[in-house]
Amino acid sequence: MRADITKVPVRDGCFKCVMILDVFEHIIDKRSLIVEAHRIMSGSGILIITAPLPKATDGLGDKRQPYDRPIEFQRILRMISDLFTVEELLGYIWLPMPRISKIIETYIPIRVGFALFKSFPGLIPRSETILLILRKKEKAETR
């Protein structure tokens, strides 16, 4: 199917799961994408989003596309909060690891789950990418 991702030509509630993988940052009207995902999902379906956060590109995104910018996690949460609840959140933060053989530090990726992000929200901006697993709110009102 070839279609505008914010106006998918399918009936309401026809999917149990929708995946938006590394697409979110390329959409101009991100809220329309969220509303459309909600519309085409059935019952309390699952929405899976992967997206880079500003740290991934120093907030610059793709210079050829002015709208192509990673957005902060808090903006994503505000965008989805009336339609979805967060089931799981995974991110990767890069922790400095001093090398013994040299004075140079290397960085290793550490997978961080929802509980740790909730306890230490300051870790989220240090993550380059996130994976969000959201559950559709059945009695949601779109704004």
Q: What is the pLDDT at residue 70?
A: 78
Question: In this structure, is residue 114 part of a structural domain?
Answer: no
The CATH number of whichever domain residue 66 belongs to comes to: 3.40.50.150
Q: How confident is the model at residue 28 (pLDDT cuts 50, 70, 90)?
A: confident
In a domain, 111, yes or no: no
Task: Give the residue numbers spanning the domain of 62.
Answer: 15-89+130-136
Identify whether 122 is part of a domain. no
Q: Is residue 65 part of a domain?
A: yes
CA dihedral of 24, 33, 113, 125, whole degrees rounded to 10: 50
Q: pLDDT tens for residues 100-140?
A: 555 555 666 666 666 776 676 666 666 778 888 999 997 76
Position 21, amino acid: L
Question: Number of folded domains in the chain?
Answer: 1
Confidence (pLDDT) at 138: 79
Mind listing the pLDDT tens digit for each residue in 55-88?
766 666 666 666 667 788 888 889 999 999 988 8
**141 found inside a domain:** no
Strands (E) located in the chain = 15-21, 41-52, 84-98, 105-112, 127-136
Bigger pLDDT: 129 or 45? 45
Q: Is residue 125 included in any domain, yes or no?
A: no
Q: Does residue 102 lie within any of the structural domains?
A: no
Q: Is residue 26 part of a domain?
A: yes
